[in-house]
Chain A
């Protein structure tokens, strides 16, 4: 509604200007809607604080991860906020290092899988026909296998360091992304503006870059955030089973795994890394939810 009044009163702008005005107001609209999602905004603040804590805080903290202190099995105190393990390592420093590695793994997975999956799915969806059939059969094949089992199998002999684990997980997650992005492209392909561009003689590359990608950006971004959360959970599960990150590296999953036998004697070793995993995955999921609402033009309709 407000758009139409604006149109009726404003002088007709030049064609180019109209487009830039449109694009900026679109981004502003998304931003404004995101700010209205309170859980997402709070989550974003918490996540940023966590990341700062993990990188800057870990660097400033008086103990290094893996450093042996004279205090063995100390419960949380001012000196050791998360307590220490049986050999005197400061759990706070350990958790911060685990957070860094877990975040690095999951963000790498999300970016890699999104890049590969988006290209794969868009190409399949855009060209359709045989290309689509063959490419999607390959995706389906990957999806038939329980991720954690294949990842465990591959990681057992190739893995150990965090970037190899990331590579293994990304090599499986791209198929999920390809499915989603294909769906988005398929629905966009039928839209009038794409047909109009085709009718005007635009090339495939131009249509994909100028029309499909900007319009699919919302779904891609939402998916990327959710992937970070999924990847962090898979990484921790793998590490728990003993097929993920291995010492001397560490991750939040590995810390929980090492602490599970000490749950009754030194519960702080178990709870803190677990809470960090939940906090990261929870905030990322809320941010993804906020982004989805912000990008969804149907949102106002649903809110009624």
Chain B
């Protein structure tokens, strides 16, 4: 791929920097299987073009799990739909998606059809609506098999039962004859996972696979996903807004905000040494079992509209580290703690050793202090002490 950046201290753009993980990071992985670069997706709308994705780069290695995290509207789902070429025709997609030595974005529809489901499989968010209500689940899995393999209907059905068994659906043989509405949400998501496994893909993209499910079922589905990955040896892109889901699953994590990656690194780097205030804020809003007494730290405000984005850092208006410099130019991804750990923040280094509460509570504490002073009470010191 690209050469190593010779001077990590100088800010380099993403394409100059090696996106491969740092040597010695956990997880077994090989060469790059899917490489997204400069991906840009724009939708037309009544209020002007919506730039849903603005320059996403990532490399996915054989066998690894890449977590993509972000709030709704951050462009994480659109990115994966663009990879699968499943966006509506009105969407304008730029950049490249290299897979198996080819750029998926330049393939004909017929060639892309051969890739979908067989080489790259996808799992969607809502299992309640992902399956066609008028066919049995067995038939829908068998259909996926027969789409890429010239086998008899009966053989495909046997394979379907086998797959249902692998995703741990009890009485797989009977269940294959069930219609989707006869199964629970968790069971249906297992069926969708079985469909994804059907042709031993190289890449599985799971778009919020647990979001629509009960908390009690989420862990089972994550297990089924891990089993699917073991079984097929596929690399996986795990898209979620829940850092908790990422924590136990992902080797590397990509954090997205307003259509752009703002931090990328190994799971350890993201969780223990985040270098983008947004990531820190996300971590602060995550309940932690190891620190039960601590209060959660919310990020104030809401993500910006992606129509007519002002210049500067999109997170600026919500960021406690915000200065005038942040409004002038949008910070590029640059190397921080390690060669594979990039963050898009002018003040990345100032985050070293800080907790979410340290960064985000500042303002609140200051306001409280001011309010306290104005009221003539001596609570100001409290606020200062906390800050």
In the complex, is A directly touching B at CB under 8 Å?
Answer: yes
Q: Which of B43, B50, B303 contacts A4 (CB 8 A)?
A: B303
B55, CB-defined interface residue at 8 Å: no
User: Which of B73, B90, B317 is in CB contact (< 8 Å) with A8?
Assistant: B317
Residue contact B47 to A304, C-beta cutoff 8 Å: no
Distance to closest chain A CB from B53 (angstroms): 15
Beta-carbon contacts under 8 Å, A1-46 to B:
1-2, 4-5, 7-9, 36
User: Among B43, B73, B301, B302, which residue has the most Cβ atoms of chain A within 10 A?
Assistant: B302
Contacts of A36 in B (CB 8 A): 46
How far is the CB of B110 from the nearest CB of chain A, in Å?
25
- Set A7, A9, A304: member contacting B43, Cβ < 8 A: A304
Produce 1/0 per residue, B179-193, CB < 8 A to A.
000000000000000
Q: Which residues from chain A contact B73 at a C-beta distance below 8 Å?
A: 1
| Interchain CB contact under 8 A, B304 and A2 | no
A294 → chain B, closest Cβ, in Å?
12
Report whether A1 and B46 are in contact in the complex, using a CB–CB cutoff of 8 Å.
no
Complex interface: chain B residues within 8 A of A9 (CB): 317
- Asked if residues A5 and B88 are in contact (CB atoms below 8 Å), the reply is no
- Contact B301 A8, beta carbon cutoff 8 Å: yes
The answer to whether A1 touches B307, judged by C-beta atoms less than 8 angstroms apart, is: yes
A300–B301 touching, CB < 8 Å: no
Q: Is the CB of A8 within 8 A of B302?
A: yes
Output the nearest chain A residue to B44 by Cβ-Cβ distance.
Answer: A304
Interface flag for B305 (CB, 8 Å): yes
Q: Do A7 and B45 touch (CB < 8 A)?
A: no
Q: Which residues of A contact B68 (CB under 8 A)?
A: none
- What's the Cα separation between A288 and B234 when bound, in Å? 52
- B301: A residues at CB distance < 8 A: 8
A35-77 contact mask (Cβ, 8 Å, vs B): 1 or 0: 0100000000000000000000000000000000000000000
Q: Is the CB of A2 within 8 A of B305?
A: yes
Question: Separation in Å of the A240 CB from the closest CB of chain B?
Answer: 44
Please report whether the interface of chain A is mostly helix, strand, loop or mixed according to DSSP. helix
Specify which chain A residues have a CB less than 8 angstroms from the CB of B228 in the assembled complex.
Answer: none
Q: Are B305 and A4 in contact (CB under 8 A)?
A: yes
Give the residues in chain B near A300, CB-CB below 8 Å.
45-46
Q: Does B235 contact A (CB under 8 A)?
A: no
Is B313 among interface residues, defined by CB-CB distance under 8 A? Answer: no
A9–B305 alpha-carbon span in the complex (Å): 12
Give A2's nearest chain B residue, CB to CB. Answer: B305
Interface residues in A278-304 (C-beta closer than 8 Å to B): 300, 304
Interface status of B306 (Cβ within 8 A of chain A): yes
CA distance A4 to B307 in the complex (A): 12
A1 to B308 alpha-carbon distance, docked (Å): 12
- CB neighbours (8 Å) of A5 from chain B are 302, 304-305
Instruction: Find out whether the CB atom of B305 lies under 8 angstroms from the CB atom of A304.
Output: no
Chain A interface residue count, CB cutoff 8 Å, equals: 10
Q: A8-B302, A304-B43 known; A2 and B307 CB under 8 Å?
A: yes
CA distance A5 to B90 in the complex (A): 25
C-beta contact mask, B53-81 vs A, less than 8 Å → 1, else 0?
A: 00000000000000000000100000000
Complex-state Cα separation, A304 to B44, whole angstroms = 8
> Is the beta-carbon distance between B302 and A304 smaller than 8 angstroms?
no
Q: List the A side residues contacting B302 at CB < 8 Å.
A: 4-5, 7-8
- Return A290 CB to nearest CB of chain B, in Å: 15
State whether A2 touches B47 (Cβ < 8 A). yes
Please give, as numbers and ranges, the residues of chain A lying within 8 Å of B43 by CB-CB distance.
304
Q: Identify the closest chain B residue to A9 (Cβ).
A: B317
Closest to B308 in A: A2
| B45 to A, closest residue via Cβ | A300
Minimum Cβ distance to chain B for residue A303 (Å): 8
Cα–Cα distance between A182 and B303 once the two chains are bound (Å): 39
- Minimum Cβ distance to chain B for residue A8 (Å): 4
Given the complex of chains A and B, what is the CA–CA distance between A36 and B88 in angstroms? 22
Residues on A with C-beta less than 8 A from B307 are: 1-2
CA separation between A292 and B45, bound complex, in Å?
Answer: 19
**B317 near A304 (CB under 8 angstroms)?**
no
Checking B88, B303, B304, B306 against A304 with a beta-carbon cut-off of 8 angstroms, the contacting residue is B88
How many Å lie between the Cα of A120 and that of B45 in the bound state?
40
**A1 and B306 alpha carbons, distance in the complex (Å):** 8
Closest B residue by C-beta to A6 = B305
Q: CA A8 – CA B73 in complex, angstroms?
A: 16
Interface residues of A in 249-304 (CB under 8 A from B): 300, 304
Closest to B306 in A: A1
Q: Which residue of A lies closest to B50 (CB)?
A: A1
Please measure, in the bound complex, the distance between the C-alpha atom of A5 and the C-alpha atom of B305, giving whole angstroms: 6
CA distance A1 to B71 in the complex (A): 13
Most B CB atoms within 10 A — which of A2, A7, A36, A304? A304
Contacts of B90 in A (CB 8 A): 304
How far is the CB of A261 from the nearest CB of chain B, in Å?
53
Name the CB-closest residue of B to A304. B88
- 7 A–B pairs (Cβ distance < 8 Å), ordered by A: A1-B305, A2-B47, A2-B305, A4-B305, A5-B302, A7-B302, A8-B317
